[in-house]
Chains A and B, each alone.
Chain A
Amino acid sequence: KAGVTQTPRYLIKTRGQQVTLSCSPISGHRSVSWYQQTPGQGLQFLFEYFSETQRNKGNFPGRFSGRQFSNSRSEMNVSTLELGDSALYLCASSLGGINTEAFFGQGTRLTVV
């Protein structure tokens, strides 16, 4: 059974650009959550999608957005990139219930220059 796949693994962008990251969850999992990880802030929750609907949202500006497709694959987009957006972006896949496990992908390392 394939794990959670995130693409790309590494990305370098310039301030002001936008970026789209992709996450393919484990087959059968309908929930995809996104996290930003930085050394100073730890793992911060961005949003969760379940069956193509945003179910939870963290405290990030509107420049951060996401969506989920009918096959449960998810994308997140960051517009007007800032230097502070440099981070490891992780997605987690789960069945979606409160008493369920969550499995992470390897992450996308975004560097904004």
Chain B
Amino acid sequence: GQQLNQNPQSMFIQEGEDVSMNCTSSSIFNTWLWYKQDPGEGPVLLIALYKAGELTSNGRLTAQFGITRKDSFLNISASIPSDVGIYFCAGRAYNQGGKLIFGQGTELSVKP
């Protein structure tokens, strides 16, 4: 099935550093969602975006709905060890029947 192109696939950073990841598509999306998943658990919703250009924050996390509607970005500032996990982007589009389509995930490792 279709997946969003998420980059990078993995990141190894030092505690305190900022993190950026993105998700791109060849077609437009109407909704972007960002999730974090810990091993063996279900994804937890971090941020939801509904309008092109929208910038939304949740604590140290900030996400943006790309102006072209074909991409989205997630930034984590001042990373801490508990940020470790896999981050997924997901999108809904009218021309995909509204189902939630996922990126491949970005695995984040934080070194204390």
Asked if A pairs with B, the answer is yes
Q: B44-77 toward A: CB 8 Å interface, digit per residue (1/0)?
A: 1100101000000000000000000000000000
State the Cβ distance, B77 to closest chain A Cβ, in Å.
23
Task: Let me know if A90 and B102 touch, CB within 8 A.
Answer: no
Count residues on chain A whose CB falls below 8 Å from chain B CBs: 28
State the Cβ distance, B1 to closest chain A Cβ, in Å.
5
- Complex contacts, A106 vs chain B, CB 8 Å: 41-42
Complex CA gap A104/B3 in Å reads 18
- Chain B minimum-CB-distance residue to A98: B98
A113 in the interface, Cβ–Cβ < 8 Å? no
Q: Which of A55-63, A67-75, A76-84 lies at the interface with chain B? A: A55-63
A64 in the interface, Cβ–Cβ < 8 Å? no
Further pairs besides A104-B42, A105-B42: 4, Cβ < 8 Å = A45-B102, A56-B98, A98-B31, A99-B50
- Chain B minimum-CB-distance residue to A108: B42
Task: Let me know if A33 and B99 touch, CB within 8 A.
Answer: yes
Interface of A is mostly: strand
Count residues on chain B whose CB falls below 8 Å from chain A CBs: 28
- Complex contacts, B33 vs chain A, CB 8 Å: 101-102
Task: Let me know if B1 and A109 touch, CB within 8 A.
Answer: no
One of A45, A48, A90, A97 near B1 (C-beta < 8 A):
A45
Asked whether A109 and B97 contact (CB < 8 A) given A45-B1, A102-B45, the answer is: no
- Chain B minimum-CB-distance residue to A55: B97
State the Cβ distance, A48 to closest chain B Cβ, in Å.
6
Task: Let me know if A102 and B42 touch, CB within 8 A.
Answer: no
Task: Let me know if A43 and B102 touch, CB within 8 A.
Answer: yes
- Complex contacts, B99 vs chain A, CB 8 Å: 33, 45, 48, 56, 58
- Complex contacts, A6 vs chain B, CB 8 Å: 42
Task: Let me know if A109 and B40 touch, CB within 8 A.
Answer: yes
A21 in the interface, Cβ–Cβ < 8 Å? no
Task: Let me know if B30 and A98 touch, CB within 8 A.
Answer: yes
Task: Let me know if A92 and B1 touch, CB within 8 A.
Answer: no
State the Cβ distance, A53 to closest chain B Cβ, in Å.
13
State the Cβ distance, B69 to closest chain A Cβ, in Å.
13
- Complex contacts, B97 vs chain A, CB 8 Å: 55-56
